Amino acid sequence: MLGSATDEFLRAEQASQFILERASLRPRIGLVLGSGLGALAAGLTDPLRIAYKDIPHFPKSTTEGHAGVLALGTLESIPLAVLQGRAHLYEGYSPSQVVVPVRALGRMGVRAMVLTNAAGGINEEYSRGALVVLSDHINLQGQNPLVGPNDERLGLRHPDMTDAYNAQFRQFVREESEQLGGGVFEGVYAAVTGPNFETPAEIRFLRTIGADLVGMSTVSEVIAARYMGMEVLAVSCVSNMAAGMTGEKITEEEVLETGERLASKFLALLRAVLPRIAGYLEIRASSV
């Protein structure tokens, strides 16, 4: 039966096996590249690329700026599984389809996910082009990838979300961004379904409930990753200030262009932070 917990497990497992049969690399860190940030994958050494359309159960991204390619390669000698592009609820995918790639990486042995996205800035201190590390989220999508019978092989029925965003990883970003000249914020991400950008009244509401950023992705992936016991770092690129804040209308072009403009800054930060995350995972592995 589609959507049952056992099928969730089997889909993740089949996708994972398909990838493992083709790749010699065994990454412990996964990276999801959001809107306009695909160029980050160009920094990989000797990547093996597999199109999502060829991987069993992977969703096909229909969104511009999302290539739909899994690249396995190394960055700073660290093996990485890079998901170039993601599926969104607004494309018509269910939350459990959206998270197949994250679950597949989890079954492959990935233990930490680095998620990136483009988001609208709500916090007045931000400006277009700012990088913001997520400290927490508010799920306003009205949907959740864990709905349905639970499969204990994947995770607990009621996973804790207190430390959804690893505090050590956030610290690594703070320290490394200081080395690189500073300018990284921390904030709370509100997830909506879209696909329309928000109204100014919705943005005032989101600010009132404690959101610093708004976007249409990431939160399902965080929930799925934490459920499976993976650690999470998430970084948003403020592609535009949110509706009603500047007097300007928001355009898709602006969102993609800001991502592209920021790609090299983002890549520099990732190059600095990934070795710290790899070190953390090894320490944890040797302490258990």
Shortest separation between residue 208's beta carbon and ligand HPA, angstroms: 16
Which is nearest to 126 in space by CA: 203, 222, 202? 203
Among 6-14, 113-121, 129-137, 276-284, the segment contacting ligand HPA (CB under 6 A): 113-121
Length of the chain: 288
> Closer to ligand HPA at the Cβ: 104 or 213?
213
Shortest separation between residue 240's beta carbon and ligand HPA, angstroms: 5
Radius of gyration of the chain (CA): 18
119 contacts ligand HPA (rule: CB under 6 A): yes
Determine the size of the site formed for ligand HPA (CB under 6 A): 13
> Closer to ligand HPA at the Cβ: 122 or 277?
122
Q: Residue type at 121?
A: G
32 contacts ligand HPA (rule: CB under 6 A): no
Of 245-264, which residues contact ligand HPA (CB under 6 A)? 250, 255
**DSSP 8-class letter at 65:** T
> Which residue in the shown chain puts its C-beta closest to ligand HPA?
120
**DSSP 8-class letter at 257:** H
Q: Which of 43, 120, 155, 187 is close enough to bind ligand HPA by CB under 6 A? A: 120
Please state, in angstroms and as integers, the Cα–Cα distance from residue 246 to each residue in 42, 57, 124, 185, following that order: 33, 41, 10, 20
Q: Which of 16, 116, 218, 240 is close enough to bind ligand HPA by CB under 6 A? A: 240
Shortest separation between residue 242's beta carbon and ligand HPA, angstroms: 5
Number of other CB atoms surrounding residue 288 within 10 Å: 4
Which is nearest to 36 in space by CA: 124, 127, 128? 128
Q: What distance in Å separates the CA atoms of residue 215 and residue 236, rounded to the nearest whole number?
A: 9
> Closer to ligand HPA at the Cβ: 93 or 197?
197
- Is residue 79 within 8 A of residue 97, CB to CB? The reply is no
- Is residue 230 within 8 A of residue 159, CB to CB? The reply is no
85 contacts ligand HPA (rule: CB under 6 A): no
Cα diameter, the chain: 54
Of 186-215, which residues contact ligand HPA (CB under 6 A)? 197-198, 214-215
Number of other CB atoms surrounding residue 24 within 10 Å: 8
Shortest separation between residue 213's beta carbon and ligand HPA, angstroms: 8
Shortest separation between residue 23's beta carbon and ligand HPA, angstroms: 31
Shortest separation between residue 97's beta carbon and ligand HPA, angstroms: 20
Q: Which of 102, 118, 262, 274 is close enough to bind ligand HPA by CB under 6 A? A: 118
1 Cβ contact list (under 8 Å, min separation 6) = 7
- Which residues of this protein are in contact with ligand HPA, per CB under 6 A? 118-120, 197-198, 214-216, 239-240, 242, 250, 255
